[in-house]
Amino acid sequence: MAAIHHPGHEHEHHGPPSGIMRWLTTTNHKDIGTLYLWFSFIMFLTGGVMALTIRSELFQPGLQIVEPEFFNQLTTLHGLIMVFGGIMPAFVGFANWQIPMMIGAPDMAFARMNNWSFWLLPPAALLLITSFLVPGGAAAAGWTLYPPLSTQMGMGMDMTIFAVHILGASSIMGSINIVTTILNMRAPGMTMMKMPLFVWTWLITAYLLLAVMPVLAGAVTMLLTDRQFGTNFFNAAGGGDPVMFQHIFWFFGHPEVYIMILPAFGIVSQVIPTFARKPLFGYSSMVYATASIAILSFIVWAHHMFTVGMPVTAQLFFMYATMLIAVPTAVKVFNWTATMWRGSMTFEAPMLFAIGFIFLFTIGGFSGIVLAVVPVDIVLQDTYYVVAHFHYVLVSGSLFAIFAGTYYWLPKWTGNMYDETLAKTHFWLSMIFFNVTFFVQHFLGLAGMPRRVPDYALQFADFNMISSIGAFGFGFSQLLFLYVILKCIRGGAKATDQVWDSADTLEWTLPSPPPYHSFETPPQVSFDEYHVKNVQNVHSK
Amino acid sequence: MNAAQPNLVMLKKLLIVAMVMFAFGYAMIPFYKKICEVAGLNNLLQPDTLVEETQQVDTSRLLTVELDANTRGLPWQFKSLQSSVRMHPGELVEVMYEIKNNSNREITGQAIPSYAPQLVSQYLKKLECFCFSKQVLKPYEVRQMPVQFLIESGFPADIKTVTISYTFFELSSDFASTDVSGETGEI
Ligand code: HEM
Ligand SMILES: [Cu+2]
């Protein structure tokens, strides 16, 4: 395993090699961060095209654009690609860029392994996408891959299972890297309780990943052996139990949804204090809240399966445990609000997205609590209400935080300011079209429209049409995001080192853009409350 | 590169965590089975016991119970001798099924029940059933097997017809040696 990268001791110029080989062989955390972010953006577009195809079909009742079988493949692959290709790699990209710079480390702990974790992703994505072309098409059992559907489908399912294995291996390697970097490579003076919250949330997320990705790998391995090697884990015919899969899957699945939101909490916890010009309110309660959310996330999985026929005592246990998670989550929301209270706030694009995040994520949290109530969930399970819930927490939650983080750190990464007007336009378009798309889905769900259907009864027509219009608006607004990023990479007003006047974590003490290798000699950090006060910044040129 | 040493130690520890969690995923299978057994859940293949006092026969109404029989992937003929029975809720009835092995090899099969509407499963009590154990049929052997059951008198009055269906599945040879009704699914 490659250890810490120490170039510059042997040779003078230590910029990157040029051309494609730079990206294939790079072990530099900044390059790898960039790769992760671009990969995730491409996956967002791919998953987005699928989503728009789905919404086109649902624009009107009746079947007009795609076959029902293909529709099911689209919903399945849309979910898998957005979760494993979009949201998760985006956060790993942030981790790669930011964690070493925020804790004063020269690079990630295992630079070579870092390269492998990234380069596993494109083959997995290719497997998923090309599975559309094999006989029988792509997996169509939903992103949750429930048997008996998933034990019956064609080879598209085997390709999906293999892709999930690869993605899992990548995530596990990535988490090992992140945990080791954070625990072992902090600059002197950076104690655990002085770490920026983004670093804390990623530390906890990495532990969650290590705990549950192997469980998912186990679950899909069981599917694979049931399909190909005659085992009967989930096969009722051989004495197995399909519901068992749901238990194992959701033991992974619920922590997984927190894997997708904790780094978002981290980003928002960096952005809000910067633009409110006040230190984060309740830093230590934020750390404890994140840890409690992570621990509780292991004992709530069955809220996804209230209708499988479990005893009432189990339903009650999982219902109360689920509601309990709302407590530390609310602590966070209150802390962010308290941070803004009486702050001298300005509303640049990162702040707009962070506030949009708080507002809409909280709506998603509330619909989650509604779904946690067993008798209500029995009615709403598998309806569009659930679809609305998880898009509020994942799109206006995780994705909005990704937007906020991108605008927040883009000037640092590129050395140029982005176009503020266009970025604000991107925010308002996203905000409006997001709500047009997903708010009405609550009503569809309450009225009984099932999810994962290509056709629906006439009474659902109007809301579906509104939702589809919103979806196209949201999708095209993201091209503006791409434009703003490209424009910022190519030029623009020069960013200062500090970029934002009250940004006070270590990365802002580096030049913008930061040198290819930063913090080769650890900086001396000292703190006054939660500010980095005095940094003898000894980075190389 | 002494700086790398603690990192490698950490790498090993974390890899062990990942491997333990992979094993944990598999360990969940027997663990859940045990929980279901202790909690008396998912008890399709074990005889029920009756609490005598609660079983009064409700002679005021009649239920039609349709009896369905299927095979899946094994060369057996499987049928019920009556296609349906009429019974009062709370009344104990016995029906007969017949299986025949149409092939010239010995085959082990296991029947899995399924009920419609699903609600029936809460009220259905089976005292005897061929599904409680695996069935081994010699070449061309024919066997008649009874099912003894009742539907509790609390069964909702608005449902007049219920279906009890059995499907026989072949047990692969490595499976045939285990007792399916107890320890299912672990290989
Ligand atoms: C207060 C916090 C939350 C509560 C109480 C909650 C509760 C629930 C419940 C009860 C369901 C099951 C609904 C059903 O299938 O009938 C559900 C589904 C879901 N939740 Fe949440 N949730 C919360 C936060 C989150 C967060 C933060 C995320 C992700 C970032 C998330 C993502 C999801 C997803 C993806 C599903 C649907 C999974 C599927 O069936 O495909 N939830 N939630
Ligand atoms: Cu959940």
Over the stretch A203-212, which tens digit does the pLDDT of each residue have?
Answer: 999 999 999 9
Give the ligand with the smallest distance to the CA of A363: 1
In a domain, B187, yes or no: no
The kind and range of the H/E element at A40 are helix A29-57
Query: 3-state class of B168 per DSSP?
Result: strand
Question: What is d(CA A171, CA B114) in angstroms, rounded to the nearest whole number?
Answer: 41
Residues having C-beta closer than 5 Å to ion ligand 2: A 254
For the cut 60, the answer to whether the pLDDT of residue A533 exceeds it is: no
Which residue is associated with the tokens 């009984």? A448
In a domain, B184, yes or no: no
The CA distance from A59 to the nearest CA of chain B, in Å, is: 35
Note whether B59 and B139 are same-domain residues.
yes
Question: Tokens standing for A370?
Answer: 């509604």
In a domain, B185, yes or no: no
Question: If you take atom 34 of ligand 1, which residue's CA is the nearest one?
Answer: A390
Note whether B28 and B69 are same-domain residues.
no
How many of the other CB atoms lie within 10 Å of CB of A320?
11
pTM of the model: 0.85
Please indicate whether residue A171 is annotated as part of the active site: yes
In a domain, B108, yes or no: yes
Q: Write the DSSP symbol of residue A353.
A: H
Half-sphere exposure of B67 (CA within 13 A, CB side): 20
Note whether B64 and B105 are same-domain residues.
yes
Kindly determine whether residue A233 and residue B41, on different chains, have CB atoms separated by under 8 Å.
no
Query: 3-state class of B16 per DSSP?
Result: helix
In a domain, B34, yes or no: yes
Nearest Cα neighbor of B80 from B91, B72, B70 is: B70
Question: What is d(CA A59, CA B102) in angstroms, rounded to the nearest whole number?
Answer: 54
Domain count, chain B: 2
- A374 inside 8 A of chain B by CB: no
Q: Write the DSSP symbol of residue A261.
A: T
Note whether B28 and B106 are same-domain residues.
no
Residues in chain B: 187
Please indicate whether residue A452 is annotated as part of the active site: no
Residues in chain A: 541
What is the amino acid identity at position A96? N
Task: Please check whether residue A147 is in contact with residue A135, taking contact to mean a CB–CB distance below 8 angstroms.
Answer: no
- A311 inside 8 A of chain B by CB: yes
Question: What is d(CA B169, CA A148) in angstroms, rounded to the nearest whole number?
Answer: 15
Question: What is d(CA B55, CA A230) in angstroms, rounded to the nearest whole number?
Answer: 43
For the cut 90, the answer to whether the pLDDT of residue B181 exceeds it is: no
In a domain, B183, yes or no: no
B94-101 average pLDDT score: 92
Mean pLDDT, all residues of chain B:
82
pLDDT of residue A14: 59
Note whether B62 and B152 are same-domain residues.
yes
Question: What is d(CA A35, CA A45) in angstroms, rounded to the nearest whole number?
Answer: 15
For the cut 70, the answer to whether the pLDDT of residue A3 exceeds it is: no
Across the interface, of B18, B73, B185, the residue whose CB is closest to A214 is: B18
What is the amino acid identity at position A49? V
In a domain, B49, yes or no: yes
Question: What is d(CA B148, CA B167) in angstroms, rounded to the nearest whole number?
Answer: 17
Ligand 1 — pocket residues by CB below 6 A? A 144, 257, 260-261, 303-304, 322, 325-326, 329, 365, 368-369, 371-372, 377, 380-381, 386, 389-390, 393-394, 397-398
B72-93 average pLDDT score: 88
Question: Tokens standing for A87?
Answer: 């949201």
Note whether B32 and B64 are same-domain residues.
no
Kindly determine whether residue B3 and residue A4, on different chains, have CB atoms separated by under 8 Å.
yes
Burial class (CB within 10 angstroms; exposed 0-12, middle 13-18, buried 19+) of A374: middle
Kindly determine whether residue A233 and residue B29, on different chains, have CB atoms separated by under 8 Å.
yes
In a domain, B21, yes or no: yes
How many Å from the N-terminal Cα to the C-terminal Cα in chain A?
27
Better pLDDT: B85 or A540: B85
Contacts with B75 (C-beta within 8 Å, 6 or more apart), sequence order: B101, B102, B103, B107
A108-126 average pLDDT score: 95
Domain that holds residue B25: 1-39
Task: Please check whether residue A386 is in contact with residue A444, taking contact to mean a CB–CB distance below 8 angstroms.
Answer: no
The CA distance from B50 to the nearest CA of chain A, in Å, is: 20
For the cut 50, the answer to whether the pLDDT of residue B183 exceeds it is: no
The kind and range of the H/E element at A201 are helix A197-228
Task: Please check whether residue A535 is in contact with residue A504, taking contact to mean a CB–CB distance below 8 angstroms.
Answer: no
Please indicate whether residue A170 is annotated as part of the active site: yes
For the cut 60, the answer to whether the pLDDT of residue A255 exceeds it is: yes
For the cut 70, the answer to whether the pLDDT of residue A7 exceeds it is: no
Lowest-pLDDT choice from A304-313, B36-45, B111-120? B36-45
Q: Write the DSSP symbol of residue A514.
A: P
What is the amino acid identity at position A484? V
- pLDDT category, A127, cuts 50, 70, 90? very high
Instruction: Write out pLDDT tens, residues B141-160.
Output: 999 999 998 888 888 888 88
**Three-point CA angle A210, A214, A215, nearest 5°:** 115
- A497 beta partners: none
Question: Tokens standing for B34?
Answer: 């045990």
Note whether B33 and B61 are same-domain residues.
no
Nearest Cα neighbor of A30 from A118, A132, A124, A126 is: A118
Question: What is d(CA A145, CA A307) in angstroms, rounded to the nearest whole number?
Answer: 17
Q: Give A 211-250 residues with CB within 8 A of chain B.
A: 211-219, 222, 230-233, 236-241, 243-244, 247-248
Question: What is d(CA B132, CA B115) in angstroms, rounded to the nearest whole number?
Answer: 16
Q: Write the DSSP symbol of residue A503.
A: -
Burial class (CB within 10 angstroms; exposed 0-12, middle 13-18, buried 19+) of A372: buried
**Three-point CA angle A161, A141, A62, nearest 5°:** 145
- pLDDT category, A522, cuts 50, 70, 90? confident
A-to-B residue pairs, Cβ atoms closer than 8 angstroms: 109
Query: 3-state class of B108 per DSSP?
Result: strand
A262-276 vs A349-372: helix crossing angle, rounded to 10: 140
Please indicate whether residue A165 is annotated as part of the active site: no
The CA distance from A36 to the nearest CA of chain B, in Å, is: 22
Burial class (CB within 10 angstroms; exposed 0-12, middle 13-18, buried 19+) of A182: buried
A283-296 vs A262-276: helix crossing angle, rounded to 10: 160
CA B152 from chain center: how many Å?
A: 20
Question: What is d(CA A100, CA A43) in angstroms, rounded to the nearest whole number?
Answer: 25
Mean pLDDT, all residues of chain A:
91
Q: Pairing state of beta strands B107-116 and B84-87?
A: unpaired
Cα of A430 to ligand 1 centre, how many Å?
A: 22
Kindly determine whether residue A180 and residue B14, on different chains, have CB atoms separated by under 8 Å.
yes
Kindly determine whether residue A244 and residue B29, on different chains, have CB atoms separated by under 8 Å.
yes
- Which residue is closest to B39 within chain A, CA to CA? A311
Chain A residues inside the 8 Å CB shell of B22: 214-215, 217-218
Burial class (CB within 10 angstroms; exposed 0-12, middle 13-18, buried 19+) of A365: buried
Note whether B86 and B160 are same-domain residues.
yes
pLDDT of residue A4: 45
- A180 inside 8 A of chain B by CB: yes
How many of the other CB atoms lie within 10 Å of CB of B41?
15
Q: Write the DSSP symbol of residue A454.
A: S
> Rounded to 10 degrees, what is the CA torsion of A210, A214, A219, A222?
180
C-alpha pair distances (Å), A179 with each of A263, B11, B13, B163: 14, 9, 11, 56
C-alpha pair distances (Å), B115 with each of A25, A304, B122, B124, B166: 59, 24, 10, 9, 9
B124-128 β-sheet, strand order:
B76-80, B93-101, B142-151, B124-128
Better pLDDT: B49 or A462: A462
Please indicate whether residue A528 is annotated as part of the active site: no
What is the amino acid identity at position A420? E
pLDDT of residue A449: 95
Better pLDDT: A531 or A321: A321
Note whether B34 and B55 are same-domain residues.
no
Kindly determine whether residue A231 and residue B1, on different chains, have CB atoms separated by under 8 Å.
no
The CA distance from B98 to the nearest CA of chain A, in Å, is: 20
Question: What is d(CA A428, CA A419) in angstroms, rounded to the nearest whole number?
Answer: 15
* Complex-level ipTM: 0.86
Query: Burial letters for B99-133: b for 16+ Cβ neighbours within 10 Å, e otherwise?
Result: bebeeeeebbbbbbbebeeeebeebbbbbebbbbe
Note whether B154 and B62 are same-domain residues.
yes
Note whether B66 and B109 are same-domain residues.
yes
Question: What is d(CA A164, CA A291) in angstroms, rounded to the nearest whole number?
Answer: 27
- pLDDT category, A537, cuts 50, 70, 90? very low
Question: What is d(CA B132, CA B134) in angstroms, rounded to the nearest whole number?
Answer: 7
Catalytic member of A151, A290, A297, A329: A329
**Range list of H helices, A229-311:** 242-259, 262-276, 283-296
Query: 3-state class of A170 per DSSP?
Result: helix
Lowest-pLDDT choice from A124-133, A242-251, A470-479, B31-40? B31-40
Question: What is d(CA A137, CA A228) in angstroms, rounded to the nearest whole number?
Answer: 18
CATH of the domain at B77: 2.60.370.10
Cα of A262 to ligand 1 centre, how many Å?
A: 14
- Phi, psi angle pair for A213, to nearest 5°: -60, -40
Kindly determine whether residue B14 and residue A233, on different chains, have CB atoms separated by under 8 Å.
no
Question: What is d(CA A166, CA B117) in angstroms, rounded to the nearest whole number?
Answer: 42
- A259 inside 8 A of chain B by CB: no
Question: Tokens standing for A474?
Answer: 């949201």
Note whether B57 and B139 are same-domain residues.
yes
Cα of A178 to ligand 2 centre, how many Å?
A: 25
